[in-house]
Amino acid sequence: MSNYHFDVNLDGISSKVNLLYISHSRDENDWPSIIHSHLFCELLYIEKGKGELLVNGKKILINERDCILLPANNLHTETSSETEKLEYYALGISGLSVSYDDYKGPILNFGSENDRVRNLIKNMYGEVRKKSSNYELIVKGYFYILLTLLLRVKKANIEIKKSEQNAKTKLNLVKDYIDSHYMEDFNLDELAQMFNISKYHFVRIFKKEFSKGPMAYLEEVRIRIAKNLLASTENRITDIALNLGFSSSSYFSQRFKTLTGITPYDYRMMLRNNDLLL
């Protein structure tokens, strides 16, 4: 899977609705389909391909040009067609409340505005990838046009929520970000910037809330997903390591053994021999 991801902070605390990130993903036969949820809304735009969205236990077919808005706390995952691989943009958006009338799934109908929505998303992604001078202003403009189009969608109740800025809410957003983006390469400075606090204070309060530091939590998530992939796929250990964000397969094996007491290879072999309880 190729996955290019960029964090975005339009105007920080002053905005009730904020674009948290924008990413582009393409299935390259290494798509890990893991059920997950977010504390914020996620907007998906299917650029190419087709597949299936599993959301809250319901299967929904998704196709090219579909725009999907997932409310917060909705368990979901995407699987790609074998013949027409998915390629899509994903936007994390905080501050929205979403529900649906005559609910048949979270696919939005923009009608004649669909091309406009697609172009807005592609333009935002292009700007944050290039990072030209004052790109944030352009992204902010595009995002607010997109937000307006979202608020106008029929048969979807999309509203701006009252802003919540307490420390615990922000910490949970960062934790949720780690849970959703464990495959990507980010560091402590970037996480602290999301939280808008010094990294030293950030580490202290994160550890107080979750009993471990943010980077230790990230590693724990990656190892948990690795165990799932070792058990459920035939993917090479090297591919699993690199796809989960580890710098090398040797470092992955070292950290896996430190945290589990067994190497990834031995873990997989013991599972096959039914000698290991999950």
- Measured at the CA of 7, the angle between CA 59 and CA 237, to 5 degrees, comes to 60
The confidence score (pLDDT) of residue 189 equals 84
> Residues 6, 128: contact at Cβ < 8 Å?
yes
The confidence score (pLDDT) of residue 122 equals 96
Mean pLDDT per 10-residue segment, the chain (278 residues): 61 65 82 76 94 87 94 86 92 85 73 95 94 92 94 80 64 82 82 75 86 91 91 88 88 92 91 64
The confidence score (pLDDT) of residue 220 equals 92
DSSP the chain: -EEEEEE--SSGGG-SSEEEEEEEEE-SS------B--SSEEEEEEEE-EEEEEETTEEEEEETT-EEEEPTT--EEEEE-SSS--EEEEEEEESEEEEESS-S-SEE--GGGHHHHHHHHHHHHHHHHH--TTHHHHHHHHHHHHHHHHHH-TTEEEEEPPP---HHHHHHHHHHHHHH-TTS---HHHHHHHHTS-HHHHHHHHHHHHSS-HHHHHHHHHHHHHHHHHHH----HHHHHHHTT-S-HHHHHHHHHHHHSS-HHHHHHHHHTT----
The confidence score (pLDDT) of residue 125 equals 95
The confidence score (pLDDT) of residue 162 equals 63
Nearest to 230 by CA among 160, 166, 278, 169: 278
The confidence score (pLDDT) of residue 278 equals 47
Residue 76, φ and ψ in degrees, nearest 5: -155, 165
